[in-house]
Every structure is written in structure tokens, then in C-alpha cells.
């Protein structure tokens, strides 16, 4: 077995490199972040393999996040990093509300007949104002941009992180990032939907943290200032 190890290592490196452009972002390194998952006062939850917890069909409910905080959808896993799949003073609940979707064998939520509609409910019991980052991976039909709301508010920032053609009539695999900064709100509902049938929700992650006060930003030095500048430039 050991004689194959070098080849497997090379393959793993190649896959990591190949996926580098198509991956979710970590708040520890992203320009919009600046915190480590698991920091007190922050929130994290991630799903890749959805499962329906409702017994009678219809709407789909999943309150069990499954993406370890040290791994990124489409990207690498950080050895020794935090392995919890949710964190913070909140419950996390994904619901598909159209009633016309089903969970695929691969753990995605898909509909061939309806425009599927989702909510992600959670709570902010920490400091205000705070920042919320939602990352999504969808296949096929793309998210309806106008549908993406947090307590009825459109995101302050949105970015397509990657797009990969699936071939045939499969459309694209698309990773998106949405960011809100909210001054108020304890019980929160993120909503997003497809404009038509044939959208498959593959994965999503939620990160949230208090917005640092300016004094704290300065104490962290020029590196963070440069990141903040980059983020502002990106938003401009
Ligand atoms: Ca998935």
C-alpha cells in the first residue's frame, strides 16, 4: 500500500490545486471576514448532505448541519482545525417550503416541477451590529437574485465565487457569496429561491459575527486595514 502513497499524495495536491478557484471562503482568510470559526459570539453552520426530518413529505426540514468548520465546499480541509458542524448561540433550520422538492441520492434538494424555495432560520443573541455571510452552491437553474433576502433585506454585497459548466443540459455549478450587515434583528430568516424548476441546492454555509468597532480594527494593524480596503474596493 505504501508504494502508492506518493501517487495518492500527488493526486490530492492536484485536486486541491484544481479546485482552488471553485471553493467556498473561510472567514479567517476572506476579505469580508477577520474571525476564526468557533470564536465566542460568532455563528457557523454548514450543509452538504441534506436529509428530510419531516415524516409526511411536503416541505423539507433539516436542522442538522454536516459540514465541518475546518473544511470548505470545493476546497481543502485544514488539518487540526475545528470539526464542529455548527457553532454559536443559535439553532439552525433549513426548510424547503414549496413542497415540490425531494432529496436526491447525493443529498441535494431538487425539484423537477416547481421553483424550489428555501429558508434558513437562526438567531443572533450576540452583539450588534453584526455581519452575516451566506455561501451557496447550486446546480442547474440559478438562484433568483431578487429572492435572496435576510429578514426582507437584500444583501449589501454579492459575489459569484465560481462557475463550472456541468455539460449537456445540466447547466452550471455556481458558488455564490452574499453578505449583510445588520444593525438589529434577533430572530433571522434567510430566504432564497429558484426562478423556475430544475435547481439543485448542493450546499450552503452560514457565518456570522459582530462587526468590529474601528478601534479594534486599528489594533489589528495594517494587514487587516489592507483587507478592509480590498473589500471596500470590491464593493465599489
Ligand atoms: Ca451536496
More confident residue, 4 or 179: 179
* Distance in Å, CA 139 to ligand 1 centroid: 10
The rounded percent of the chain whose pLDDT value lies above 70 is: 81
* Mean pLDDT estimate for the chain: 86
Write out pLDDT tens, residues 131-183: 999 999 999 999 999 999 999 999 999 999 999 999 887 899 999 999 999 99
**Burial (CB count within 10 angstroms: exposed 0-12, middle 13-18, buried 19+), residue 19:** middle
Q: Do 217 and 131 contact (CB within 8 A), yes or no?
A: no
The pocket of ion ligand 1, defined by CB under 5 A, consists of: 48, 107-108, 202-203
pLDDT of amino acid 58: 85
* Distance in Å, CA 215 to ligand 1 centroid: 40
* Distance in Å, CA 49 to ligand 1 centroid: 5
pLDDT of amino acid 12: 42
Check pLDDT > 60 for residue 19.
no
pLDDT of amino acid 233: 61
Check pLDDT > 70 for residue 221.
no
**Phi, psi (5° rounding) for residue 158?**
-140, 145
* Distance in Å, CA 90 to ligand 1 centroid: 23
C-alpha cell at 8: 495518492
* Distance in Å, CA 169 to ligand 1 centroid: 19
Write out pLDDT tens, residues 60-100: 999 999 999 999 999 999 999 999 999 999 999 999 999 99
Provide the pLDDT confidence category of residue 15 given band limits of 50, 70 and 90.
very low
pTM to 2 decimals?
0.82
Amino acid at each position: 500500500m505504501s508504494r502508492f502513497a506518493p501517487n495518492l499524495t500527488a493526486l490530492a495536491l492536484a485536486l486541491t490545486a484544481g479546485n482552488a478557484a471553485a471553493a467556498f471562503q473561510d472567514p479567517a482568510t476572506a476579505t469580508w471576514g477577520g474571525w476564526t470559526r468557533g470564536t465566542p459570539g460568532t455563528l457557523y453552520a454548514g450543509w452538504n448532505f441534506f436529509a428530510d426530518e419531516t415524516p409526511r413529505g411536503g416541505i423539507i426540514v433539516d436542522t442538522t448541519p454536516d459540514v465541518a468548520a475546518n473544511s470548505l465546499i470545493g476546497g481543502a480541509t485544514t488539518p487540526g482545525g475545528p470539526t464542529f458542524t455548527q457553532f454559536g448561540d443559535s439553532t439552525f433550520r433549513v426548510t424547503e417550503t414549496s413542497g415540490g422538492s425531494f432529496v436526491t441520492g447525493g443529498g441535494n434538494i431538487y425539484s423537477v416541477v416547481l421553483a424550489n424555495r428555501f429558508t434558513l432560520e437562526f438567531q443572533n443573541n450576540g452583539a450588534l451590529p453584526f455581519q452575516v455571510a451566506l455561501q451557496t452552491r447550486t446546480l442547474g437553474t440559478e438562484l433568483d437574485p431578487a429572492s435572496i433576502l435576510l429578514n426582507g433585506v437584500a444583501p449589501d454585497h454579492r459575489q459569484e465565487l465560481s462557475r463550472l459548466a456541468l455539460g449537456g443540459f445540466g447547466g452550471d455549478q455556481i458558488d455564490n457569496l452574499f453578505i449583510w450587515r445588520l444593525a438589529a434583528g434577533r430572530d433571522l430568516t434567510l430566504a432564497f429561491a429558484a426562478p423556475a424548476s430544475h435547481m439543485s441546492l448542493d450546499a450552503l454555509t452560514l457565518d456570522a459575527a459582530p462587526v468590529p468597532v474601528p478601534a479594534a480594527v486599528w489594533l489589528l494593524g495594517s494587514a487587516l486595514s489592507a483587507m478592509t480596503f480590498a473589500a471596500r474596493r470590491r464593493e465599489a
